[in-house]
Amino acid sequence: MERFDVIVVGSGACGGWATMALSQAGMKVLLLEAGSSIEPAKDFGHKWPYELPYRGQGQPGLLRKHFKGSTEYNYRIMIDDRENPYTTPADKPFRWSRSRVLGGRTLHWSRATDRMSDFEFKAASRDGYGENWPISYSDISPYYDRVESFIGVSAEAAGYPQFPDGKFLPPMKLNCAETLFDAACRKISLPATPRRVAQLTRMHNNRPPCHYCGNCTNGCDVGAMFNTVAVTLPPALKTKNVTVRCDSVVSHVLMNAENKARGVAYIERYTKKSVEVEARVVFLAGSALENTRMMLNSQKGGLANSSGVLGHYVMDQISGAGVTGFLPILKGTAIRNDDGKAGGLYVPNFNNVKTTNPNFIRGYAISASGGASEFPMFAMSAPGFGSEFKKSVKKQYPAQARVWLSGGEMLARFDNFVELDPEVRDAWGIPVLKIHCTHSDNDKKLYADFHERAKEIFLAARGEITDATPRMGVPGGLIHEVGSCRMGDDKKTSVLDSFCRTHDVGNVYVFGGGAFVTTGDKHPTLTMMALTARGCDQLLDRARRGEV
Amino acid sequence: MLQSFTEILIPTDDSPGAREAHVAHYIDFVVNAAAEYAPEMQNEWKAAVAWLAGKKLDAAFVGGLAESFPPYRLIKQMTVFAFYTSRAGLVDDLGYQGIAYLTEFPACDHPEHRRV
């Protein structure tokens, strides 16, 4: 049987980082990826809607039914629910949007790269709800520095204590609509700064800067945005210590008699052949819920689950409809390139920071943008016809504007959990997850508060609101699903320690959003990567001391 | 028939219209492809086209229709989508500037946008 020092399961943001960090330190790494290999320079590129058969929407009904959260541009690297389903109780919908491809969701993510703060890590101490994280900002900040410096983050140092600054490249510049919203936020005393993105504004680590084509979520062909394939994998491969195996669907962790992991079992995606591989250490980095699925499928009652909390405290940040309309000052102005860079204006959380909100605990972040973005969505419901209609669409096109919910904190609750569905299996015979997740009262109040604030920002920008119907998103909809394998100091109430190593099985680490104790109000990816960097450091320290 | 109707909705004037964008052809293609995963859409479309049959297609007829009337709303939405995702609609008419190669993002340079 093949033996490696470390097996890394999953090649997304965390798996890619771990593979790089360990291989550079001399460890022999096997990187297993369930999806196919990909070459961005060849497989991605600029595409006009009219170059695609269905203009970006996909064959009618197909994506909505089977490829959740995808577009015609990227659905081939997303999961087909018919091949890899999941279930929910009928009254608890959960929208789980997943990729299987080398690089995972880093290939088409929104690139928002935020630091969490002690307002989040230590929120329980402030308001008495739930648990604190076992780390504080000072523990993770050196790892934020390290990850940011390597991947390249374009941002503005803003000095907000609830939204710590970091190692930044020059920020993405604001377009006209965003500049107006920025002024509006200042007028009503809300914090605001350009969205922080892992997208280069200048040459960095031999990667070219962004060329402002706006195709980011369809896949970046030049590696200007952070993704595993362009950024963390090349230095890893250069070490010659890495074996990458795509189309390898891991089903479970293999255990030995001493309750240590001895490797993993995977199924070849196309031949369906079962394979076992061994290693001294196993890293699960296949996304929050997929990691938990593998752990539940590894041992009766779940791997490393003496606490009984494995699978519990599933969360996804709160999403939902925002406010759309026009900024009249921009009507009839010359058409500019407004969506060449994505991101918009970011309004970091301001609730329960300096003052206490009497209606709910925790907070949310808002985004705002606008301008002549590709398709004039408003035209679908605009009245009239004929030449007048065309003129009116063109006049309003550069004035489109929207304010949306970047993410609100969903409270961690034991009742929100995943389990293996006893009846349903995927195309490889692996039991699938049944997800139980609903919003709490606090979650609903927080969304309602966001909606009022969104209108306030819109009106402060002298905007004209055309749609402000509140509609809370389905859990999972923001694709910030975290929890289900949380970290903590007490092994009776948590699965992982503060280095993302399981309390019960000393040679299994679990990286990704699963470790999160709370969702916080920031975008989660940078924190996941920083936790991975910290866990890798600890493993390498232990290896140097001969403990591995 | 469908083609004449889409040309009333989005006429060719000083910029291209539904005709140059081949809107009717494109709608035929999409509706045909709906059979597999969205048969309900195909049925709605058939009903809308049946309603259109035999009507005198001119501006006076379209002007008298309520925006919310389901057959009209469906045909209009399909027409608007097909037009503004075509090269004729998106580039030649609207003047969309994206999907370019730029060395710098053309940021807002209006001092009047810094105050509201």
Single-letter amino acid code for the residue at B105: F
Rounded to whole angstroms, how far apart are CA atoms A167 and B17? Answer: 50
Identify the band that residue A276 occupies on the pLDDT scale cut at 50, 70 and 90: very high
Chain B residues 85-114 with a CB less than 8 Å from chain A: 85-87, 90, 93-108, 110, 112-114
Rounded to whole angstroms, how far apart are CA atoms A164 and A117? Answer: 7
* pLDDT score of A487: 98
The pair phi, psi for residue A120, each rounded to 5°, is -95, -50
Please state, for a pLDDT cut of 70, what percent of chain A lies above it: 100
What is the tens place of the pLDDT at every residue in B4-22?
Answer: 999 999 999 999 999 999 9
Beta partners for residue A419, in sequence order: A434
Rounded to whole angstroms, how far apart are CA atoms A60 and B48? Answer: 17
Q: Is the pLDDT of residue A502 over 80?
A: yes
A137-163: average pLDDT = 98
A166-187: average pLDDT = 97
Q: Is the pLDDT of residue A97 over 80?
A: yes
Q: Is the pLDDT of residue A153 over 80?
A: yes
- The pTM of the full predicted model, rounded to 2 decimals, is 0.97
Q: What is the mean pLDDT of chain A?
A: 97
Burial class (CB in 10 A: 0-12, 13-18, 19+), A115: buried
C-alpha torsion sign, points A16, A81, B28, A380: negative
Rounded to whole angstroms, how far apart are CA atoms A470 and A318? Answer: 13
Q: Which residues of A touch B116 (CB under 8 A)?
A: 180, 183-184, 187, 460-462
| Complex ipTM tops 0.95 | yes
Identify the band that residue B1 occupies on the pLDDT scale cut at 50, 70 and 90: confident
Encoded tokens for A47: 């595409």
Identify the band that residue B37 occupies on the pLDDT scale cut at 50, 70 and 90: very high
Q: Which residues of A touch B105 (CB under 8 A)?
A: 172-173, 175, 210, 212, 337, 340-341
Q: Is the pLDDT of residue A176 over 90?
A: yes
Beta-carbon count within 10 A of A311 CB: 27
Decide if A376 and B84 are in contact by the 8 Å CB cutoff.
yes
Q: Which residues of B touch A62 (CB under 8 A)?
A: 36-37
- Establish, for the pair of chains A and B, how many residue pairs have beta carbons separated by less than 8 Å: 161
Single-letter amino acid code for the residue at A271: T
R_g of chain A computed on alpha carbons: 23
* pLDDT score of A442: 98
DSSP H helices in B1-65? 2-9, 23-33, 39-52, 59-63
Select the residue from A178, A212, A378, A381 to test the B interface by mutation, using most B Cβ atoms within 10 A: A212
Decide if A372 and B9 are in contact by the 8 Å CB cutoff.
no
Q: Is the pLDDT of residue A271 over 90?
A: yes
Q: Is the pLDDT of residue A1 over 80?
A: no
Rounded to whole angstroms, how far apart are CA atoms A61 and B3? Answer: 25
Q: Domain residues for B37?
A: 2-113
The pair phi, psi for residue A284, each rounded to 5°, is -95, 125
Q: H or E element: which one contains A123?
A: helix A123-127
* pLDDT score of A220: 94
Judge contact between A529 and A17, C-beta under 8 A. Answer: yes
What is the tens place of the pLDDT at every residue in A61-86?
Answer: 999 989 988 899 999 899 999 999 99
Q: Across the interface, which of B34, B37, B93 has its CB nearest the CB of A390? A: B93
* pLDDT score of A145: 98
Chain B residues 35-74 with a CB less than 8 Å from chain A: 36-38, 41, 59, 62-63, 67
State how many domains chain B has: 1
- The DSSP symbol for A482 reads E
Q: Which residues of B touch A385 (CB under 8 A)?
A: 8-10, 62-63, 76
Judge contact between A143 and A502, C-beta under 8 A. Answer: no
Q: Is the pLDDT of residue A2 over 90?
A: no
Rounded to whole angstroms, how far apart are CA atoms A529 and A13? Answer: 6
Distance to chain B for A541, nearest Cα, Å:
43
Burial class (CB in 10 A: 0-12, 13-18, 19+), B93: buried
The pair phi, psi for residue A14, each rounded to 5°, is -80, -45
Select the residue from B46, B91, B94 to test the A interface by mutation, using most A Cβ atoms within 10 A: B94
* pLDDT score of A68: 84
A105-111: average pLDDT = 95
B52-64: average pLDDT = 93
Beta partners for residue A368, in sequence order: A345, A403
Judge contact between A196 and A153, C-beta under 8 A. Answer: yes
Distance to chain A for B37, nearest Cα, Å:
5
- The DSSP symbol for A359 reads S
A378-406: average pLDDT = 97
Beta-carbon count within 10 A of A529 CB: 30
